[in-house]
Structure 1
Amino acid sequence: MGNRRDFLQTTAAAGLTIALPGLARAQAAGDTLRIGLMAVKSGPLASGGIDMERALNIYLAERDQMMAGRKVQVFFVDAGAKADVARAKVAELCEVQKIHALLGPQTAIELLALDEVTRSHKLPLVSTAAAEDVTQRKANPWLVRPTASSAQTAHVMADYCAKTLKYKRMALVADDFPYGHETAAGFQRVFEESGGKIVQRIYTPLVTPDYSGAVGQLAKVDGVFLAFAGSNGFRFIRQFADAGLRDKLPLVGSMTSLDESVLRNMGDEALGIHTASWYSADLATPANARFVPDFRKAHGYDPGFYAAAMYISAEVLESALKTVGGKASDPQALMAALRKSHTQTLRGPVRFDEYGNAVGDVLIRKVERKDGRLVNAVVKTYPNVSQFWTHNARQFLANPVYSRDWPPARNIEG
């Protein structure tokens, strides 16, 4: 299960509370609520993981480190988006730290790896990661996802491209890992069902310092859909602009491609790019009106997808804890409360379908400059969006999971 000393050093470096094994066992029947947080803090995905930790710190600071009347102890782990490490870390959290619930993980790779661990340990998981099948064909009964599946917002972006932007021919550029595959595939399906054609698909390694090769491959199209995570979108768009394509070829993106955590490092090359997400720092909800200024004051930039995902996850978890009277020692009761919850959050109301995935509003956003900073301004809202889009759930699930191979690319040119 990995080196235990390394695990404790990792959590200590995160600046969060650590319970030693004896203490953790002694508190198993006590009043302390023990929560695991899994996020990535190195490499191209680090900006998102750092924001997840920062958002949870703000949430708990607002509540004097309490949830549902119980003191909270957080155990931070970074599995580095590696499946085997994620499994070992969470098993240790369950067996040694005796956690009551897990927040995160950040990546589809980790989430898919945690399926068996959460089931065997009966561990309630409030997920940030978007891997499709954990709330679809292989639905995990120990999971809720208050954000979105990989393709949930990509469906919306495809609809907007076809019906509002009137694009007919598009290219896809995506990270070559499950989130990128699923997001691009969902976009392709809805865009082609709406009469458009995906004539080019380009997948790039998750760690790609130079996107000039991908930029140079782009064909003559009406627009390019980007499915990037972490800082990859920033690097691609910068090199796209350097190649002189900014005013020649429109870009649109997935929910993470122009996240606020990377938008703060960008300039005019980002202006005008549309993305679809369930969140924007520009969103006018009562909770968001408090959270955004607090986050900006503490860290100097607006919160985005990953920060909001963690804050919302905490809101959903605390709502369920209140339903069970703060008693987290019965995992089945807590999980049932999570599945039935209908919570007012940063993004607005969140409820879950029968598979544990959020049904909620999805926003079309456009990068604009406000008060001297770049923001994802909300230009349109699609209400009550399901992970199945407008498809019948049974018919949707009869197809394979979205991937590099499905739906098939029938319109690729060259």
Structure 2
Amino acid sequence: MSRKISRRTMMAGTAAGVAAAALNFPKPAIAQAKPFKLGLLTVKTGPLAQGGIQMEQGVQTYLKLNNNKMGDRPVEFISADTGGNPAGAKTKAQELVERNKVDVILGPLAAFELYAINDYIRQQKMPTLSLAAADDLTQRHANPFLVRASATSSQAMHPMGHYAATEMKLKRAVTIVEDFAFGYEQMGGFQASFQKDGGCVNKKLWPPIVTPDYTPYLAQITDCDVVCQGFAGSNPIRFMKQYASAGLKYPVVTGETGGDDALLTSFGEDALGLVSCCPYTLDLESDGNQRFVDGMRKNFNTVPGFYAAGLYTNCEVVAAGLKATGGDSSDREKFLNAMRSATLSDSPRGPVKFDHFGNVVGNFYVRRLGKEGAKYGLKLWNKTIKTYENVSQFWTWPEKEYLAHPVYSRNYPPLGKC
């Protein structure tokens, strides 16, 4: 028997069918419709390449451990080599933004690179999670599109100066570091903190970033009881070898790059006793760090240091921001605020939160290089001897007092009379 079906009944049935189908099949989501474009500015050539390669490995490790997703969105990852110079950083930043249409930039590595692209980031309103430590871009001339989960140039050196003066009981220091912005700001931080606690810096040495022979500078290290070096990339290895060969016996202290854990396979016994302060330490016993270390060893057969950990943590911040916005990064201001509001309880470097300038507040670890506790087939090991918690970029100074002083530079603070 045939049965007549009215148009209204047919449409109602169709609507019901569509509704039923919608229950059985997932609706198109941001994650399915549009990949999240993640751009990296790093360095793969020159003296800073060692750190730059670890930066890329840190991002890749995060993506491999998270099924190539952030906030349930698939990730398209674009890595750009700046060559470790300001012009290259600016050119590659423009390519990432204008040609690749990235949603966020990670990096760059060097402070002078970040200063070079600062105005462009502002003009493009591009969320940027920097490893570069350029102090003033989260201080007196804060960039509202910048988030930094690593550290300012001086942030690790403040506790290092305090530790050298108060616990190592050292009084007179000579500083030596590459002649560029990161070096100036590192040593300014060490000097300010060291002098605040009773120490004195009586000489500052500034070799060029490409210096094969440190002999002329080593000959000037006299009349002190500690040397603070702030070298980056592979330069710390060469410096420590030449320092020992010159017969110098003063204890050596350093910041996050000069004693980086990624250098443990390359340091020799000439570096034994090196004391460093870093926002990341390989020996941190936590689930988050162990997962990260295992990922780096599995994927790249290497142990990570500060550069890799910093970029992995940046990825965690991006993912937290995307989760808070439901995966939507189209409203850059909303997305940026979500990242700056993020708190991480178990990143590879420990707990992370941000101040109102978008700069990290977190743990900094003082370590001594030795053989005790070595793992992963390493002969040398950075063993944590003190943890400073909730370290801000202003150290123990009130924010207004700190910002009333000039940014740390080649000549500020001035040398003291020891």
TM-score by length of 1: 0.90
- Give 3-state SS (helix, strand or coil) of 1:319's partner: helix
Partner in structure 2 of residue 340 of structure 1: 341
Alpha-carbon deviation of 1:395? 1.2
State which drifts further: 256-265 or 305-314: 256-265
| Amino acid in the other structure paired with 1:357 | N
- C-alpha spacing 1:90/1:30, structure 2 compared with 1 (3 Å): farther
Task: Give the aligned residue type for 1:404.
Answer: R
Give CA-to-partner distance per residue, 1:281-334, whole Å, 9 cap, x none.
111121101111231233333200101011001011111110001111111111
SS in 2 for 1:74: strand
Q: Distance in 2 between matches of 1:293 and 1:92?
A: 33
Structure 1: distance between partners of 2:83 and 2:131: 15
CA distance in 2, matches of 1:308, 1:407: 31
1:46 and 1:196 mapped to 2: Cα distance? 34
Q: More deviation in 154-163 or 53-62?
A: 53-62
Who is 1:391 aligned against?
397
Would the alpha carbon gap of residues 96 and 30 (structure 1) be closer, same or farther in structure 2, given more than 3 Å must change? Answer: farther
How far apart are the structure 2 equivalents of 1:183 and 1:332? 31
CA distance in 2, matches of 1:262, 1:207: 18
| Conservation of the 8 A alpha-carbon contact between 1:134 and 1:140 | yes
Q: Which amino acid is the alignment partner of residue 346 of structure 1? A: P
Q: Report how far residue 407 of structure 1 moved.
A: 1.0
Q: 2:175 touches 2:201 (CA, 8 Å); kept in 1?
A: yes
Identify the residue that residue 355 of structure 2 maps to in structure 1: 353
Taking every aligned residue pair, what percent have the same amino acid on both sides? 42
Match of 1:264 in 2: 265
**AA aligned opposite 2:276:** T
Looking at structure 1, the residues matched to 47 and 360 of structure 2 have their Cα atoms a distance apart, in angstroms, of: 27
SS state at 2:381 partner: strand
Structure 1 residue 362 corresponds to structure 2 residue 364: yes
2: CA distance between counterparts of 1:30 and 1:121? 24
- Report which stretch shifted further, 336-345 or 169-178: 336-345
Match of 1:42 in 2: 45
Tell me how far 1:170 sits from its aligned partner. 0.9
What is the CA–CA distance in structure 2 between the aligned matches of 1:406 and 1:124, rounded to whole Å?
31
CA distance in 2, matches of 1:55, 1:95: 25
Cα distance in 1 for partners of 2:128, 2:194 equals 32
> Counterpart amino acid of 1:124?
P
Give the aligned partner of residue 373 of structure 1: 379
Report what 2:4 is aligned to. none
Alignment of 1:79 with 2:85, yes or no, is: no
Rounded to whole Å, the distance in 2 between the matches of 1:288 and 1:38 is 24
Rounded to whole Å, the distance in 1 between the matches of 2:305 and 2:326 is 31
* Partners of 1:339 and 1:295 in 2: CA distance: 26
Cα distance in 2 for residues equivalent to 1:30 and 1:101: 18
The one-letter code of the counterpart of 1:253 is T
CA distance in 2, matches of 1:411, 1:286: 47
* Alpha-carbon distance between aligned partners in 2 of 1:297 and 1:368, rounded to the nearest angstrom: 25
* Whole-angstrom CA distance in 1 between matches of 2:224 and 2:153: 24
1:73 and 1:296 mapped to 2: Cα distance?
23
Tell me if the contact between 2:46 and 2:84 (Cα under 8 Å) persists in the aligned partners: no
C-alpha distance in structure 2 between counterparts of 1:266 and 1:296, whole Å: 19
What's the counterpart of residue 26 of structure 2? none
Q: How far off its partner does 1:118 sit? A: 1.2
Name the CA distance, whole Å, in 2 between partners of 1:193 and 1:149: 19
Distance in structure 1 (CA, Å) of the matches to 2:226 and 2:197: 15
Counterpart check, 1:230 vs 2:236? no
Shift of 1:263: 2.5
Q: For residue 180 of structure 1, what is the aligned residue in structure 2?
A: 183
Query: In structure 1, which of residues 72, 94, 103 is the aligned counterpart of residue 97 of structure 2?
Result: 94
Equivalent in the alignment of 1:154: 157
Q: Which moved more, 1:208-217 or 1:163-172?
A: 208-217
Give 1 or 2 for the bigger CA radius of gyration.
2
TM-superposed deviation, 1:30: 4.4
1:211 to 195, 214, 226: 214
Using structure 2 for the length normalisation, give the TM-score. 0.89
Mapped to 2, the partners of 1:206 and 1:172 lie a distance apart of 15
Mean Cα deviation higher: 338-347 or 43-52: 338-347
- Structure 1 CA distance for aligned equivalents of residues 253 and 304 of structure 2: 20
Work out whether residues 81 and 109 of structure 1, in 8 Å CA contact, stay in contact via their aligned partners in 2.
Answer: no
Counterpart residue type for residue 283 of structure 1: L
CA contact (8 A) 1:153 1:255 kept: yes
Match of 2:54 in 1: 51
Q: Describe the superposition over 1:244-292 as per-residue Cα deviations: whole angstroms up to 9, x where unpaired.
A: 22xx211111110021222211221122111001111111121101111
User: Are 1:109 and 2:115 counterparts?
Assistant: no
Q: Which moved more, 1:204-213 or 1:258-267?
A: 258-267
Please state how far the C-alpha of 1:53 moved relative to its aligned partner: 0.8
Instruction: Pick from 191, 195, 202 the counterpart of residue 198 of structure 2.
Output: 195
Match of 1:131 in 2: 134
Q: How many angstroms does 1:335 deviate by?
A: 0.4
Matches within 5 A, 1:227-376: 227-245=230-248, 248-344=249-345, 345-369=347-371, 370-371=374-375, 372-376=378-382
Counterpart residue type for residue 319 of structure 1: A
AA in 2 matched with 1:37:
L
Question: Which whole-Å deviations, capped at 9, do the CAs of 1:356-390 have from their partners, x for residues lacking one?
Answer: 11011111011122144322111100111110011
Q: Distance in 1 between matches of 2:246 and 2:89?
A: 39
